[in-house]
Structure 1
Amino acid sequence: MQFLSKSFVANALGVYFCNDVNFVTDCAHWTNLVSGNCYTLDAEHQNALSSFGPDAGTGCSLYDDYHCADSPCTNLENPGSTDLSHLPPGGGPTYSCNDQINSFKCHSV
């Protein structure tokens, strides 16, 4: 039997996202993400996400562009958001990232 080292498990990054609120409809779980890399959503999920949840120990920045180049729409840590239409950006007023996300990058938290 092989065991994973604690450092490997701590650095394993993943996200779960869906096209509808409350994590239903057209969901995907992407795992083994590399910290700091930009990931562009597949065509099925571009401009369609309504819920996004980083796995435990993962924090992510979500972007409306395709290359993580603009300012992020929001930053989320586990458990994420069941409804991207109601997010407080960095303590500011509530606004919407709903159906606007096209790319994201994550890191360990």
Structure 2
Amino acid sequence: MKLSLATSALLALTNAVAVPGTTPEIQRVPVPEGFFESHIGSVGSLTIAPAEPPKIDARAITHFYACINSNFQPACQNFAVNTGGCYNFSGNWNDAISSIGPDKGTTCTLYYDSGCRGRSVVNIVSPGIYNLNDFNFNDVASSVRCV
């Protein structure tokens, strides 16, 4: 009797083990009506998650050289800026620039108002503008953008 019981148990265990290369049959289980609503809330009340803000690429740094006198006469300064950024001139540089020259391959725009607004001198490229008075823009620039 013990031998037949052990043999039966062994046969049952052998039938329960998955055979490699065979796929067990999947049975669909019916879900009671209202199951999802009672467990996760109303199906129709989903809200869309706000999109993740786009990642901003690192911007290249470029330079422009500006002077308070024409013909690049002192006082002068080399400014480092991120391409595409708007920069307001502050202190002694606001409404004081008379000559400007960006790096080779860079194009700058000077603006009359801060925030890169108002009338402007566009497409300033190397070697630059020696006298902004030629553009009726001497000592009036308040902001700059270079790309």
Give a deviation string over 1:53-95, Cα, whole Å, max 9, x none: 01111100100101102242333011111100113xxxxxxxx
Q: Does residue 1:47 correspond to 2:112, yes or no?
A: no
Equivalence for 2:127: 79
Q: Does residue 1:105 correspond to 2:145, yes or no?
A: yes
Q: Does residue 1:56 correspond to 2:104, yes or no?
A: yes
Structure 1 unaligned spans of 5+: 1-10, 88-95
- Highest relative contact order (Cα 8 Å, sep 6+), 1 or 2? 1
Is the CA contact 1:17–1:49 (under 8 Å) kept in the aligned structure 2?
Answer: yes
TM-score by length of 1: 0.74
Equivalence for 1:68: 116
- Matched residue count: 88
The structure that has the greater radius of gyration is: 2
Structure 2 unaligned spans of 5+: 1-59
Poorly superposed stretches of 4+, deviation over 3 Å: none
The structure richer in helix per residue is: 2
TM-score by length of 2: 0.56
Which amino acid is the alignment partner of residue 98 of structure 1? Answer: N
Identical pairs, percent: 33
Give a deviation string over 1:29-48, Cα, whole Å, max 9, x none: 012x2111101112111111
Equivalence for 2:75: 26
